[in-house]
Amino acid sequence: METPEFDDFFPDFLDGYMKGMVFANVIVFDGDEDTNMLSETEFKYEVPPPSIEEEAEEDCREFVSENLELLVQASGEGMSAEQAGIDFSFSRNGHGSGFFAHRWEDRELGKKLQEAAEGFGTQQILLYVTRLGDDGKDVELEWQLANNV
């Protein structure tokens, strides 16, 4: 159930989630090469189209709705909604950072949020690069959001 608390929290959470996804959860397929770090490619300044955020929004809404009480508690311990979104993207994808990495006053808080995030499975942004022309300088980019890759 969405509440005024949810409405205040959610936009910054979603923004943080997308920042975390673009930072560490993009797999670029460019010919025979692929990398999971967009920043290591010539496409580091590319931004996923709005359709990717629209698809990701469903999981984010569900996570925030199911864990709003814990997220409000985390907010009381200094975590911003944006940081919670970043942590959701890192935690669900098994990175070395996420909800578990904070020094919570309530040590169970990080564990509970980490477990909840992991329960959503992984999610990656896939960027397929098609090189056009003989020199390969012109490109066509196709973005996809994929679960449990």
Range of the domain at 124: 4-147
What's the one-letter identity of residue 93?
Answer: N
Instruction: Tell me: pLDDT of 36 over 70.
Output: no
Q: Which of 62, 79, 81, 70 is nearest to 120 (CA)?
A: 62
Here the tokens at position 127 are 């960027």
pTM across the whole model: 0.90
Spatial neighbors of 106 by CB under 8 A, at least 6 apart, are 73, 77
Residue type, 53: E
Q: Which residue has the tokens 């940081």?
A: 83
Average pLDDT of the residues in 116-134: 92
Please state, rounded to an integer, the average pLDDT across all residues of the chain: 90
Number of domains in the chain: 1
Q: Which residue has the tokens 């942590």?
A: 87
Find the mean pLDDT for residues 39-58.
Answer: 88
**Start-to-end Cα distance in the chain:** 30
